[in-house]
Amino acid sequence: MPSPLSIRRVVLYKHGVGYFERRGKVTDSETAHLDFKARDMNDVLKSMTVLDLSGGSVSAVSYDSTKPLEQLLSEATIRIPEHGSLTALLGQVKGARVRARIGGGQVEGAIVGLESLPVVQGEASVIRPFLTLLVGSALRTFDVLEISELEFLDEAVRKDLEFYLATVMSSYKKDSKRLSILTAGEGTRELFVSYVLESPVWKTSYRILLDEAQPPLLQGWALVDNTGDEDWVDVELSLIAGLPVSFVHDLYNPRYQRRPIVEVRSEVGVAPVIPEEARSESYDESEVSDDGAYGSSGAAPSASFMPMAAPAPAPVMRSRSIGGGGRGGMREQLEQSTAVKTVTKEVGDLFEYGVDRPVTVHRNQSALVPILHRPFEGRRVLLYNRATREKNPMTCIEFKNTTGLTLEGGPVTVTEDETYVGEAMLDTLKPDDVRFVPYAVELSCSVSVDDNQEDGPVFRAQLNRGTLVTEFFHQRRTKYLVRNKAKRAQTLYVEHPRTGWDLKDTDAPAETTDGFWRFKRELAPGASDTLTVTERTKGQRQYHIGSLELVQVAYFLDARFIDARVAQVLRDVVALREKLAQFTRDTQRLSEERTQLFNDQERIRSNIDSLQSGASQRELVERFVTKLNTQEDRLEAIGGELERIEKERVRLQEDVNKRIQSLSYEADL
């Protein structure tokens, strides 16, 4: 049975939800039913509003449980099998009072039982079911097949049967959950219901008509999808641009709170004493408001659209201003066939398009709805970006949103002189926003780029704590050579990347974006033009003066990185470093001599140990001993010399460090 509450208004949002309003008539205490998909129940329970607009009241809203079908049926007192349903049912309700219509009369009684008895039909015998009723004080048996009507007089049995049948019926559509609105009142009244559901995102598509004699014309279409199980027939449709907050919260599934277990103390003969109340966290999630706060953007399912002829007359958009005007040809036909009046308004940070005429979209179908038909301020220009296309600029529309509307982003098809010339993507535009909309490559204009980078002269030198820092400018020069081979004048914007460098000796850009400078050039027909962009940024070089040579000291003095006083100190440092280098060489030489003496002594001691007793051996031993004594004297002298050199080296190194650390100088060149 269809719901008396039909959809009257639909509001679609750009972030994956839709707002729906239903209205309908109910009489007295009639119950209105709505069916929803199981996945939509959380959104419905979170956002549903029900009003009786005629003085009645809404007593309750009930909905199907989340229990599985088998569990629900197990709670029913009646079970009806697939086959033999009537006889199986009557066998389960023994004692129930019924009213049976048999032939032309009626009989009331209580069901005693059901049995199968043979009945002779011709030469054969068949088994037929017979119902036994207690009528008054007598038992009477009736052929079930002769009973034309059987009414249950016991309300409990009737309700059990209705519950069982309704539960089975709801199972036929496994993804569907029924929501019942219980009303209370007298007479016929109007009922209002609204709620929010997850819905496909509405999309936008634009057409731009270029005409040198007139302002460009923008035509906008909205693509809406009805993926629900119910037709939208003559509904009031609104489309909202913006990104309100929305979320999914589980209100449909039952939630249980863990409770403390309290045991009776056996030694106390009174009621249990609870020292303190058990703390339980409770959240009233039903108060989370969804008025104007809807969920994260969801991707719309893909939809196929049949070629559409423009409606005659088209659905009209309510508007505070009407766009139009034109001449013969395609422009005039478009203006006549898709005359659009747009009722628009801002709702906080949101923007609403309201369709002025009723819209019909059948279930599982989509529709194109015109929402915009206005001229705008714009012109044809060229935009060059080296990263996009190295040799040619793009043909663009310099688009200023003078429509007075917020334009959602979407694809654009561009037509010039009644000919398709390209496609583009339009960003979301607020009123008076300006964007470049590129739609084709301009092959009649070519661009070549020449890069050159060099380091400029040092402009500051600073000496401190042993380090000389010189500052200079890295300089980069980019030359754009543009050739306009077209027979008409063209306006070119060159996008030059911004990398943190400063412009130097370059005309100010016409526009600046986050990532580019845009330089504007007017190109004459068949002419060439050159744009030179010079940039610079600071650079540094560091020199550790403890390792300088006299040649570098002379260069720094000539370049005025240092003055004569600092230069003299550095020359002294270089001289002291030469002494330190000599000490190092002397230390190395003495160390090598000492090592050689140690090796000789080892050889002599080995020879002495190998000699035997005898006069000739004693003379050789004495000779070796004399040589060892001489070497020991030399080793002692070497040790003293190394000690003296080390002391002198340490003293000299401290002097060098002191001189270096005491130097401080700064010069602006």
| DSSP string covering 327-387 | -TTHHHHHHHHT----EEEEETTEEEEEBSS-EEE-TTEEEEEEEEEEE-EEEEEEEEETT
| 35 and 126 housed in the same domain | no
pLDDT at residue 489 is higher than 90: yes
Give residue 312's pLDDT band: very low, low, confident or very high (50, 70, 90): very low
State the DSSP code for 598. H
Residue bearing tokens 């962009």: 533
pLDDT at residue 283 is higher than 50: no
Q: Provide the mean pLDDT of the chain.
A: 81
On whether residue 431 sits in a domain, the answer given is yes
Q: In terms of DSSP H, where are the helices of 246-329?
A: none
> Whole domain around residue 139: which residue ranges?
97-153
| DSSP string covering 100-117 | EEETTEEEEEEEEEEEEE
Residue bearing tokens 């999309």: 203
| 146 and 163 housed in the same domain | no
pLDDT of residue 111: 86
Q: Convert the pLDDT of each residue in 589-645 to its tens digit.
A: 999 989 998 998 888 888 888 776 656 677 788 888 888 888 888 899 999 999 999
pLDDT of residue 270: 41
- Number of domains the chain is built from: 4
| 656 and 569 housed in the same domain | yes
Q: Calculate mean pLDDT across residues 2-25.
A: 89
| 654 and 600 housed in the same domain | yes
CA 434 from centroid of its chain's CA atoms = 25
CA–CA gap between residue 495 and residue 222 (Å, rounded): 33
The residue ranges of DSSP E strands in 227-315, in sequence order, are 232-241
Within 13 Å and on the Cβ side, how many CA atoms surround 578? Answer: 7
Helix (H) or strand (E) holding 7: strand 6-13
On whether residue 259 sits in a domain, the answer given is no
State the DSSP code for 256. -
On whether residue 334 sits in a domain, the answer given is no
CA 599 from centroid of its chain's CA atoms = 79
**Which are the contacts of 186, defined by CB distance < 8 A and separation ≥ 6?**
28, 56
Q: Calculate mean pLDDT across residues 36-61.
A: 89
**Which are the contacts of 184, defined by CB distance < 8 A and separation ≥ 6?**
29, 56, 57, 58, 59
On whether residue 51 sits in a domain, the answer given is yes
| 521 and 417 housed in the same domain | yes
pLDDT of residue 290: 42
Side chain identity at 49, as an amino acid letter? Answer: T
User: Within a 10 A sphere around the Cβ of 424, how many other Cβ atoms?
Assistant: 21
| 408 and 489 housed in the same domain | yes
On whether residue 252 sits in a domain, the answer given is no
Give me the torsion for CA of 541, 547, 551, 553, rounded to 10°: 70
DSSP lists the bridge partners of residue 436 as: 398
Q: Convert the pLDDT of each residue in 380-425 to its tens digit.
A: 999 999 999 999 999 999 999 999 888 888 999 999 888 999 999 9
On whether residue 398 sits in a domain, the answer given is yes
Helix (H) or strand (E) holding 469: strand 467-484
Is there a contact between 459 and 562 (Cβ–Cβ < 8 Å)? no
pLDDT > 90: percent of the chain? 35
Q: Calculate mean pLDDT across residues 498-502.
A: 93
Residue bearing tokens 């008076």: 432
pLDDT of residue 91: 77
pLDDT at residue 261 is higher than 90: no
Domain boundary at 522, 544, 566, which?
544
SS3 8: strand
